[in-house]
C-alpha cells in the first residue's frame, strides 16, 4: 500500500470513534482529509465540527458538514487529527501543516484525542522531524538563540504564515526524551505562541496504518 492508501485506511477507521449526532473536533492535513471524506459518508451524520484550520473548514463545508466556532462548544467528545511523529506514550510532534495553534486549542476542548497516522510516523524518540514552533515575529531572533542554547537549529519556514498571521520556526537537531518538560519550558519563552510538542494534549488512542492493516494503540495515563 502507498502512504496515501495507509492514510485513507486510518481516516476511515477513525469513524468508529465518532458518535452520530454529536459535534466533534477535526484536525488538519492529508490524513484528516480522508477522515473528513469518511465523515461526509456517514449514514447518520455528525451535528457539526469544530475545525482546526481554514483548509479543514473549507473541506468540511464543501462536503456539507456544519462548522462551529470553538467558542460555541464547551466540550467535544473526540478530536481526530494526524501527527508528524508519535512515540510509544502518545506524545506527538505536530504542526507540519502550520495548524498547530488551532489544533492545540481544539484538542484542549476534547475528552479524547484520536491520532490517525501511517506507520512512518511512529518513532521511539521525538525529534527527527523538525519541531514546528509558531512565534510572534518580533521575538524570532530571541527564540532562535534560545533553541541554539539547547542544541536546536531553528529556521523560519520560507513563505509561510499561519492562519493566525504568524511565522513558523522549524527546529532541527533536538532529541526530545522528555516531551512534557520541554513543552513546558518552551511555553515559557516570550514570543512563543505554540510549540508543536503535544505532550499535555497527547493522544489517548492512535490508529496506525500498516501494511498488515490498522493497529490500534492505546496509551495509559501517567
CA distance 115 to 84: 10
Between 11 and 152, name the residue whose CB sits nearer to ligand 5RP.
11
Between 84 and 87, name the residue whose CB sits nearer to ligand 5RP.
84
Catalytic residue among 103, 134, 137, 185: 103
Give least dist CB 41 to ligand 5RP, A: 19
Give least dist CB 92 to ligand 5RP, A: 8
With 0-12 / 13-18 / 19 or more C-beta atoms within 10 angstroms meaning exposed / middle / buried, residue 141 is exposed
Phi, psi (rounded to 5 degrees) for 164: -95, 0
Give least dist CB 84 to ligand 5RP, A: 5
Is residue 191 within 8 A of residue 139, CB to CB? The reply is: yes
103 carries an active-site annotation: yes
Between 79 and 147, name the residue whose CB sits nearer to ligand 5RP.
79
Between 30 and 153, name the residue whose CB sits nearer to ligand 5RP.
30
CA distance 91 to 8: 22
Give least dist CB 207 to ligand 5RP, A: 12
Chain residues binding ligand 5RP by CB under 6 A are 27-31, 81-84, 94-100, 103
CA distance 9 to 194: 30
Q: Report the catalytic residues.
A: 103
Amino acid at each position: 500500500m502507498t502512504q496515501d492508501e495507509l492514510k485513507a485506511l486510518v481516516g476511515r477507521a477513525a469513524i468508529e470513534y465518532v458518535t452520530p449526532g454529536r459535534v466533534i473536533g477535526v484536525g488538519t492535513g492529508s490524513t484528516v482529509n480522508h477522515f473528513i471524506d469518511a465523515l461526509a459518508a456517514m449514514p447518520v451524520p455528525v451535528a457539526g465540527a469544530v475545525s482546526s484550520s481554514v483548509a479543514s473548514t473549507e473541506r468540511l463545508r464543501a462536503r456539507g458538514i456544519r462548522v462551529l466556532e470553538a467558542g460555541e462548544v464547551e466540550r467535544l467528545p473526540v478530536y481526530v487529527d494526524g501527527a508528524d511523529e508519535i512515540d510509544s506514550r502518545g506524545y506527538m510532534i505536530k504542526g507540519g501543516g502550520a495548524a498547530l495553534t488551532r489544533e492545540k486549542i481544539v484538542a484542549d476542548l476534547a475528552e479524547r484525542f484520536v491520532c490517525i497516522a501511517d506507520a512512518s510516523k511512529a518513532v521511539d524518540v521525538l525529534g527527527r522531524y523538525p519541531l514546528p514552533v509558531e512565534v510572534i515575529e518580533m521575538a524570532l531572533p530571541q527564540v532562535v538563540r534560545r533553541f541554539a542554547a539547547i542544541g536546536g537549529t531553528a529556521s523560519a519556514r520560507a513563505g509561510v504564515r499561519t492562519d493566525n498571521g504568524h511565522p513558523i520556526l522549524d527546529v532541527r537537531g533536538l532529541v526530545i526524551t522528555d516531551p512534557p518538560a520541554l513543552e513546558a519550558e518552551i511555553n515559557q519563552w516570550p514570543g512563543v505562541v505554540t510549540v508543536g510538542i503535544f505532550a499535555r494534549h497527547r493522544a489517548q488512542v492512535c490508529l496506525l496504518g500498516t501494511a498488515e492493516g490498522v493497529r490500534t494503540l492505546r496509551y495509559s495515563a501517567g
